[in-house]
Amino acid sequence: MTTRWAVWRHLVTLHWRAHRRVVLLIALLAPLEAASFALVSVAQRHLADSATNGVLAGVLAAALLGGLGNLVISGVLRTKANLQADVVERVDALVSAEVLRTVTAVPTIEHLERTDYLDRLSLLLRGTRSLAFAPWQLVTFATVAVQVGLSCWLLFGVHPALVLLVLFAVPPVWAVHRAQRPVRAAAAATAELRRHDARLHGMATSHHSARELRLAGAVDVVAASADRAWDAALDTAYRARSRGLGWKLGGWAIHTLGYLAALGLVAWLVVGGHATLGDLILFITLAGQLRAQLAQAADQFDGFAESLHCGEQYLWLRRYSAEHEATGTVELPSSPSGGIRLRDVGFTYPGTEEPVLSGVTVDIPQGSTVAVVGDNGAGKTTLVKLLTGMYRPTTGAISVGGVDLDETAPARWRDRVTAAFQDGAEFALPAGRAIGVGRVEHLDDREAVERAVDRAGAGELVLALPRGLDTQLGAVYDGLELSGGQWQQLALARAMMRPDAALTFLDEPTAALDPRIEHQLYERMARHVGVAGGAGTTILITHRFSTTRMADHILVLAGGRVVEQGRHRDLMARDGVYATLYRAQLGAYGVTHE
Ligand SMILES: Nc1ncnc2c1ncn2[C@@H]1O[C@H](COP(=O)(O)OP(=O)(O)OP(=O)(O)O)[C@@H](O)[C@H]1O
């Protein structure tokens, strides 16, 4: 509960930060709104009584007061709605930004593959607006409470028993709360379906997958699959809302019974001369107002329950981030001369049973070039994910210069690491920035970017761009679209923004490059990083055995285990897995010697 209140307090703080004057103004308007409703009812009673008694001045005064009250109500409601919409939008943006920070505060990216995490995240992202609205729902409750209090006081004046009318307001409000339960359960149960639907829509509309889908004539299949997911989600939501509707109708039926009983009582009092016609009109007006106010409160309660649910997801996410925050404080040695050691490292992806890496024990000396080879799915990329600190090993440990990666902050290690991945990001930015982002401190440092371009052998590509490094990339932003190999060259240049990195990962960086550029690249790399006695270590994942010969050390992975390791010559002499793969590949290209 305390943590839940912490969320509300936090939301109020965000409102204050977003627009404090508007928040104060709305808070001041709330009691004015409550008083105006009471004023209108009292004015109507006076109007009726003055008219019955023929007091013209009373009629005029009551009409004036009633008109004034109505004017204030309309003005306040409109102004409040406008101001609230603005401030809620601002807080919505602040909450969304906080969610992003919360998600990225976790140093690893394992959580982005956990279904329970993603379901909660998608529920939260759909509900940031209702979360931003939550404090205003509390203000509405407070306003309604004041209005109900004033109404009770006025009804008590007609007959004390009429106050009981308020009790009959409890069932509809409670029913709305009860009705939300199945709706919330349905939202949680359909979160995965909705994500599935969104992903299928993304597949059909993103240019990458859309072309394959069109060629395969599979667009209709994907659309039908998305429709099925959406229909299933809508069916579940509809059934839940229908169950909820039963509770709501029941609640309002009880309220109506109470209203009819109270109306009968007032009519009986008027007939018996114990109340005036004005009292009857006061009762009808107050009962009408009460019903409208309670309906509003019940609706807000509906939204409030939704906000609470969202708040719970928010808390869960924040707790998750706090629990998974980097705790390591040990500094890495400025020059990790001890190299990188993997001791009995194993890894199992979240939500799966089978380990994809097991018992990996390797020593990587500082300054060496290590080639990792193996069949598809052998675990090469997973090994890189562990070494970059994106994932933590499920078993065993990785240490750098004698310091366990768990004991140091991942950010410290990542400062020393650079990488180019086979499916690197295609940043739709001006080319210079798409490269400079590899080291944000030098994002706009033209000289540093040009040096990185040179190291990656991407000079020709940049020269050919219509506005050089200023060329906007990405067709979706009206920029230039690059080929797969050209994007890969930029990804390499991005990785080369950190020439002093202690560790450079190249995960099949040349798969999409033509042989000429590949050759130039390896020549350059030999001069700049790891290879040929440089200070940095290079880990190269490759399917091209022509590049493994230059490595100081080769790791052969199969089924998540290191089955062989050593230099090219030794592995060939051993005539095991590596030698077989090597000969098979060279044979496939018609080369018969080593
Ligand atoms: N996010 C994931 N969740 C679950 N399993 C995964 C995930 N990513 C990879 N795997 C599984 O882990 C195993 C190793 O995958 P990995 O990408 O490390 O192989 P790889 O050796 O790099 O393959 P390739 O040469 O095809 O790139 C595969 O069986 C794959 O199915």
Question: Which value does ipTM take for this structure?
Answer: 0.97
Shortest-distance Cα residue to atom 9 of ligand 1: 382
List Cα–Cα distances, 354 to 114, 137, 350, 395, 551, in angstroms: 16, 48, 10, 13, 31
Residue pair 302/180 in contact (Cβ under 8 Å)? The answer is: yes
What CATH number is given for 336-416+503-564 in this structure?
Answer: 3.40.50.300
Pairing between β-strand 369-374 and β-strand 537-541 as defined by DSSP bridges:
parallel
d(CA 104, CA 361): 30
Tell which atom from ligand 1 comes closest to the C-alpha of 543: 25
One digit per residue, the tens of pLDDT, for the chain of length 594 reads: 556 677 778 888 888 888 888 888 888 888 888 888 888 889 988 998 998 888 889 899 999 999 999 999 889 888 888 988 888 999 999 988 988 888 888 877 888 878 888 888 888 888 888 888 888 888 888 888 888 888 889 889 889 999 888 888 788 878 877 888 888 888 888 888 888 888 888 887 776 677 777 777 778 888 888 888 888 889 999 999 898 888 889 988 998 999 999 999 999 999 999 999 999 999 998 888 887 877 777 777 777 777 877 888 888 888 888 887 777 777 777 765 668 899 999 999 887 889 999 999 999 888 888 999 988 889 998 998 898 888 889 999 999 888 888 888 777 888 888 988 877 788 888 999 999 988 888 888 899 999 999 888 888 889 999 999 999 988 777 788 888 888 888 998 999 898 888 888 888 776 666 666 666 666 666 555 444 345 688 888 887 777 788 788 999 999 999 999 999 999 999 998 899 888 887 765 555 444
Residue pair 154/37 in contact (Cβ under 8 Å)? The answer is: no
Nearest partner of 406 among 506, 336, 324, judged by Cα = 324
**Residue 241: which residues within 8 A CB-CB, separation 6 or more?**
182, 183, 186
Nearest partner of 164 among 299, 254, 267, judged by Cα = 254
Tokens 């140093």 — which residue?
A: 107
d(CA 562, CA 583): 20
Identify the pLDDT of residue 587.
Answer: 66
The letter for the amino acid at 475 is: A
Residue pair 138/130 in contact (Cβ under 8 Å)? The answer is: no
**Residue 550: which residues within 8 A CB-CB, separation 6 or more?**
369, 522, 526, 531
Residue pair 432/475 in contact (Cβ under 8 Å)? The answer is: no
Pocket of ligand 1 (CB under 6 A): 113, 349, 352, 356, 374, 376-382
Say what the pTM is.
0.68
How many A from CA of 122 to the centre of ligand 1? 25
Identify the pLDDT of residue 396.
Answer: 94
**For ligand 1, mutation pick of 345, 360, 381, 581 (most atoms within 8 Å of CB):** 381
Q: What are phi and psi of 508, to 5 degrees?
A: 45, 55
How many A from CA of 377 to the centre of ligand 1? 5
Structure tokens belonging to residue 108: 């690893």
d(CA 109, CA 121): 14
**Answer CATH for 2-191+253-322 from 1.10.3720.10, 2.40.50.140, 1.10.730.10, 1.20.1560.10:** 1.20.1560.10
Structure tokens belonging to residue 586: 């060279």
Identify the pLDDT of residue 357.
Answer: 95
How many A from CA of 380 to the centre of ligand 1? 8
Tell which atom from ligand 1 comes closest to the C-alpha of 541: 22
Residue pair 255/172 in contact (Cβ under 8 Å)? The answer is: yes
The ranges of the chain annotated as CATH 1.20.1560.10 are 2-191+253-322
Tell which atom from ligand 1 comes closest to the C-alpha of 382: 18
Reduce the secondary structure of 163-219 to three states and give it as a string. HHHHHHHHHHHHHHHHHHHHHHHHHHHCHHHHHHHHHHHHHHHCHHHHHHHHHCCCH
| ∠ Cα 531 533 539 (to 5°) | 35
User: Strand runs (DSSP E) across 9-167, as ranges?
Assistant: none
Burial class (CB in 10 A: 0-12, 13-18, 19+), 494: buried
Shortest-distance Cα residue to atom 4 of ligand 1: 349
Nearest partner of 311 among 8, 13, 103, 1, judged by Cα = 8
How many A from CA of 498 to the centre of ligand 1? 27
Q: What's the DSSP call for residue 480?
A: B
d(CA 399, CA 363): 10
d(CA 393, CA 330): 19
Identify the pLDDT of residue 530.
Answer: 44
Residue pair 543/582 in contact (Cβ under 8 Å)? The answer is: no
**For ligand 1, mutation pick of 373, 380, 391, 545 (most atoms within 8 Å of CB):** 380
Q: What's the DSSP call for residue 402?
A: T
Q: What's the DSSP call for residue 330?
A: P
Identify the pLDDT of residue 532.
Answer: 35
Identify the pLDDT of residue 585.
Answer: 77
Cα dihedral 496, 499, 502, 504 in deg (nearest 10): 20
How many A from CA of 379 to the centre of ligand 1? 6
How many A from CA of 382 to the centre of ligand 1? 6
The ranges of the chain annotated as CATH 3.40.50.300 are 336-416+503-564
How many A from CA of 572 to the centre of ligand 1? 27
N- to C-terminal Cα separation, the chain: 70
How many A from CA of 414 to the centre of ligand 1? 22
Residue pair 548/555 in contact (Cβ under 8 Å)? The answer is: no
Residue pair 325/107 in contact (Cβ under 8 Å)? The answer is: yes
Identify the pLDDT of residue 527.
Answer: 52
d(CA 220, CA 197): 14
Shortest-distance Cα residue to atom 24 of ligand 1: 376
Identify the pLDDT of residue 533.
Answer: 41
Structure tokens belonging to residue 281: 């009109």
Nearest partner of 488 among 536, 443, 576, 422, judged by Cα = 422
Tell which atom from ligand 1 comes closest to the C-alpha of 352: 4
